[in-house]
Amino acid sequence: MGDRERVERNRDAWDLRAVAHVSSGFYDVDGFRAGRSSLRVFEVEALGNVRGKRLLHLMCHFGLDTLSWARLGADVTGVDFSGEAVGAAQALAAEVGLPAQFVQADVYDVADVLEPASYDVVVATYGVLVWLPDLDRFARVVARMLRPGGVVFLAEFHPLQSMVDGELRVRTSYFREGAADRTVRTSYTGQELQEHVQSTWPWTVSGLVNALAGAGLRVERLDELPVDLRRRSPEMIQDSNGFWHLPGDLLPLLLTCRAVKD
């Protein structure tokens, strides 16, 4: 099976997730409707004042973070390959009365459906890089969509997370290659889904930095954080900000990166 077929299969899987996730307590859409922001403090700090800036959110799922940027005054466009996710995002934007554009498109086709070199900010966050068969091509898309001086901000689960099990034993190589296919019956929100097969692609920190640099983007800052957004193993402890830690903060669990188009 080629990458194109795997991506199409993943699209079907994310259509299932989008329908389920809108009603999930994990995303707390009711809280968002009441005014809660879904953004984390380091995301807001990394980009500063976004009021009046054109912001492109790639792989935006059903738009919760996209609309949280809109609440901060950004002129937002969200892109996702799932039609169900885009439909849910459009419905949520209309419900809460926030101006936003949502477009269904494969991330690699964004420059064919939106205006290149017209965005001040591009963001992609949490669980997105593993769905990309070609990281270099993704970085070139980001560079093409940014205006000169524009900024890309990435926040992602650290690739070391996929290497270890709940007892911190290494179970696979950091330098593995090729797509991983596996059968899935539940979402990360804990909800039961129709059984399906999904494909993910490995990435490394150096691979990400080299992809950005190869696309002409200058990395200004890269941070590895010992925190996670959810409790992946029983021994994890939640801090006062809602982040989850392993005892002793033994591993980086999140990665954030800010790069600029000179």
Tokens of 163: 């290497």
Report the predicted TM-score, pTM, of the whole model to 2 decimal places.
Answer: 0.91
Q: Are 255 and 224 in contact (CB under 8 A)?
A: yes
Is the dihedral angle over the CA atoms 45, 50, 53, 57 positive or is it negative? positive
Q: Are 257 and 217 in contact (CB under 8 A)?
A: no
pLDDT of residue 168: 66
Q: Residue-wise pLDDT tens for the chain (262 aa)?
A: 788 899 999 989 989 888 889 888 889 999 999 999 999 999 999 999 999 999 999 999 999 999 999 999 999 999 999 999 999 999 999 999 999 999 999 999 999 999 999 999 999 999 999 999 999 999 999 999 999 999 999 999 999 988 877 666 778 888 888 888 888 777 776 777 788 789 999 999 999 999 999 999 999 999 999 999 999 888 999 999 999 999 999 899 999 999 999 9
Domains of the chain: 3-261 (3.40.50.150)
Tokens of 14: 């994310």
Is the dihedral angle over the CA atoms 196, 201, 202, 204 positive or is it negative? negative
pLDDT of residue 65: 98
